[in-house]
Amino acid sequence: MKRILLAAALATAPFAAPSSARAQAPIQVGHIADFSGPTSDVGVPFGHGVRDALAWVNANRTIGGRRMNVMTVDYGYQAPRAIAQYQAWMGRERPVAIQGWGTVDTEALIAFNTRDRVPYISGSYSAALTDPTGRAPRADKAAPFNFFYGPSYSDALRAMLIWAREDWNRRGQQGRPRYVHMGANHPYPNSPKAAGEALAQELGFEVLPAIQFALTPGDYTAQCLTLRQQGANYAYLGNTAGSNISVLRACQTVGVQVQFLGNVWGMDENAMKAAGTAANGVVFPVRTAAVWGAQAPGMANVQAISRMSDREGNAYRPVHYLAGICSAMLMVEAMETAAANGGQITGERIRDGFYARRDWVPAGFEGICEPSNFTNEDHRGTMRVGLYRARVSGDTTQGSVDELMRNGTMRLEAVQTITLERRRDWLGW
């Protein structure tokens, strides 16, 4: 009898242990970042914001009694590597959510995310990611598992064009203002091109032929001479900061007088230091309600997150770092919603967690993260666009970004916040 009972116990033990282990198993989370590729100038601060925020959460609390296993991969802005990494993860770890990055790879993965039901929270703000149903007037495909924090590239450009039209009138200028789109012939800078040019025409701009320049730094004197010859008044810089800096310097050298409009990745404090006075006056969208060091209720948590990788607390964190934090914290709270009341942390339940709140600001980040609103028919998280102007008044070669911001040589000047209509014809475009 004893031998029978012992055999029974041994037979059942292997099945009991894994159940307990599964309950405490880490939550698998993917993180695809550009730390070394052509967009790493802005990919590094954003990716570090995501990384530090998730590490901070792991250090301070659990999600449904579990911590996250965050798998961070630098894919060098090479879409095939991102797709291969996704497929490898789904064959092994099977992450329940992924923090992603670029437009080419994010759009290429839409069908995979939909098939595998994995929420993908990207650093790409392509409007093509905002239609979860595929029924919008200009819909390319449904993207039911794609989310991002902040306005889409298209909506940010629309807000800048509305501001530009008002700016033209405020300054008492006559005739039609001239607008030009500038950037690489690439899905990321091209993402808002048609939407921007359509609204520019609607607002009474003369739309000029687009001017191309590569995603990498170079000599863009020819582009600046074309810009001057066209007589443009407002020019949208669609690339990331690295190549935009080259354009700004070249245009300053040849004496181009134009109001540059930077995309959300096109300008930040690091770019201001690198470009010097050539960056002075650039207007660009900022996703957060405050910038580094501002007085805001949530700034203490932002600084605590920063110390996850800067123990002394001396690093200056640019606007992209704060946006990375907000992106990560939206995902964390959607996971917490999925886990509530003993729920399973699955991709579908995390997706539904994005729909669970209105005017959603992650707890503890009030005054930092702008409110988000997602529904199962509209993944435009916000129609509110905060515009800032880069101000550079002197030599930026001496001193750190932190020192230059502290002594006033560089500053970010709030210009205007524009709230767009949630127009149906703009969804997905």
Do 163 and 274 share a domain, yes or no? yes
126 belongs to a structural domain = yes
**The pLDDT value given to residue 10:** 36
pLDDT at 7 over 70: no
pLDDT at 1 over 60: no
114 belongs to a structural domain = yes
**DSSP classification of residue 277:** G
Residue 18's pLDDT band (boundaries 50, 70, 90)? very low
Do 271 and 419 share a domain, yes or no? yes
Separation between Cα atoms, residue 363 and residue 113, nearest integer Å: 27
Chain-wide mean pLDDT for the chain?
94
Structure tokens at 163: 């501001």
Do 204 and 71 share a domain, yes or no? no
- Find the helix or strand (DSSP H, E) in which 91 lies: helix 79-91
Do 89 and 135 share a domain, yes or no? yes
181 belongs to a structural domain = yes
pLDDT at 373 over 90: yes
Do 275 and 419 share a domain, yes or no? yes
252 belongs to a structural domain = yes
5 belongs to a structural domain = no
363 belongs to a structural domain = no
Which residue from 421, 301, 419, 316 is spatially nearest to 361, judged by alpha carbons?
301
State the amino acid at position 277 in one-letter form: T
pLDDT (average), residues 191-215: 98
pLDDT at 218 over 90: yes
**DSSP classification of residue 371:** P
pLDDT (average), residues 262-291: 98
Report, in this order, helix, strand and coil percent for the chain, each rounded to 5.
45, 15, 40
Record the pTM.
0.93
331 belongs to a structural domain = yes
Do 215 and 313 share a domain, yes or no? no
3-class DSSP string for 289-310: CCCCCCCCCCHHHHHHHHCCCC
Separation between Cα atoms, residue 206 and residue 199, nearest integer Å: 11
**The pLDDT value given to residue 9:** 37
Separation between Cα atoms, residue 350 and residue 64, nearest integer Å: 13
Do 80 and 130 share a domain, yes or no? yes
Residue 283's pLDDT band (boundaries 50, 70, 90)? very high
Do 282 and 140 share a domain, yes or no? no
**The pLDDT value given to residue 139:** 81
Separation between Cα atoms, residue 97 and residue 88, nearest integer Å: 14
pLDDT at 127 over 50: yes
pLDDT (average), residues 242-257: 97
Residue 189's pLDDT band (boundaries 50, 70, 90)? very high
The percentage of the chain sitting over the pLDDT mark of 90, rounded to a whole number, equals 93
Residue 341's pLDDT band (boundaries 50, 70, 90)? confident
- What 3-state class would DSSP assign to 411? strand
- Domain holding 347: CATH number? 3.40.50.2300
Separation between Cα atoms, residue 368 and residue 360, nearest integer Å: 12
- Provide the domain limits for residue 407: 153-291+382-426
pLDDT at 128 over 80: yes
**The pLDDT value given to residue 292:** 97
Looking at the structure of the chain, the number of domains it has is: 2
364 belongs to a structural domain = no
**The pLDDT value given to residue 299:** 98
Do 278 and 414 share a domain, yes or no? yes
Do 159 and 258 share a domain, yes or no? yes
Do 250 and 110 share a domain, yes or no? no
pLDDT (average), residues 356-371: 98
pLDDT (average), residues 76-95: 98
pLDDT at 21 over 60: no
Residue 230's pLDDT band (boundaries 50, 70, 90)? very high
Residue 8's pLDDT band (boundaries 50, 70, 90)? very low
Do 165 and 281 share a domain, yes or no? yes
pLDDT at 2 over 90: no
pLDDT (average), residues 157-177: 97
8 Å CB contact between 65 and 23: yes
pLDDT at 387 over 80: yes
Structure tokens at 387: 């515009």
